Structure 1
Amino acid sequence: MEKQHKTITIYHLLVTTIIISLAIASFALCIMCELNKSKKKELRVDGELCSLPQSRAFGYGIAALMCSSVAQITGTMLFIVCRCSSDFKSLKTSFASILLLLSWASFIIMMILTGTATSMNRRQEVGEGWVDGECYLVKNGVYVGSGTLVLIATSSTLLSCYLMISKSRAMHAQAK
């Protein structure tokens, strides 16, 4: 029984390390997007038509979206595994579920912000632009805000998992 508990603890530690690494990578990629996004000086205007070249922020943004998606899904799976091994009627379980809901809300807002801003950093051809033939630039701070939301989402997920794990450990200690 003790060996199984150590194996589960190592599994939780490994998964948590992966989630944290992916969240930090996503945050760093968001910062790189902010530094490499299309700038006003790159905007070319031909009469009423405009064009923008593709910036590096496009690739970094896609990578940030992928890292944060994998971290969020992995964290949710860890939460589900921990919840299946604990009591469903606990106050800690309800609070952990609310934290997970906050995590998903932050994640969805981050995905919308990063996805939209990333698509604006794709090549905008003359007369096509991003929407309605007009060129758009990402406002300062959008990617930093997205990176912050990644950290909020990951922290909420991991805290909800921690609450579930501590509840599970308390139940195992009482059983002994």
Structure 2
Amino acid sequence: MVLAFSTGLVSAANPKVGGAAMFEDKNIVENAMNSKDHTTLVAAVKAAGLVDTLQGKGPFTVFAPTNEAFAALPAGTVENLLKPDNKDMLVKILTCHVVAAEALSADVSKMAMADGGTHEVTTVGGCKLWLTAKDGKIMIKDEAGGTAMVTIADVKQSNGVIHVVDHVLLPKM
């Protein structure tokens, strides 16, 4: 029998993301950097200059798109957004994935039910998102009319929570 030990605290309820353990005593950026499914998001956060913000005290709820979510954008979009000339647009898109509060999936479900099925939130970037909880799943509609599904919920961080999503949320253009 082999026993594995780790440094850091992992709650039994904290799921792995991108094959990596997510530690409740690490911040959003530290954990995201360990996920092989979020390399594009980490590169974008660095290019946008948002590392210090997302390592801040929080609390934050981050809807974290996977590499596949970014790859589903029209060809060349990610490369274009990562150019220094497009930093403002990149910041806007990324901050449309962040809410300045900690909201676990149970919280989202309660808020949606209290609001007749859909709860509207304003993100750090000033975007509106509409959160719907149905049959134990959370869906998010963005200002551009796109919809993302939370594929991994309630990944607790030292400064908030991450919910992994399958689409990039976009502001109204």
* Larger helix percent: 1
Between structure 1 and structure 2, the one with the greater Rg is 1
- TM-score band by shorter chain is under 0.3
Higher relative contact order (CA 8 A, sep 6+): 1
The two structures have a TM-score, normalised by structure 2, of 0.24
Which one has a larger percent strand, Structure 1 or Structure 2? 2
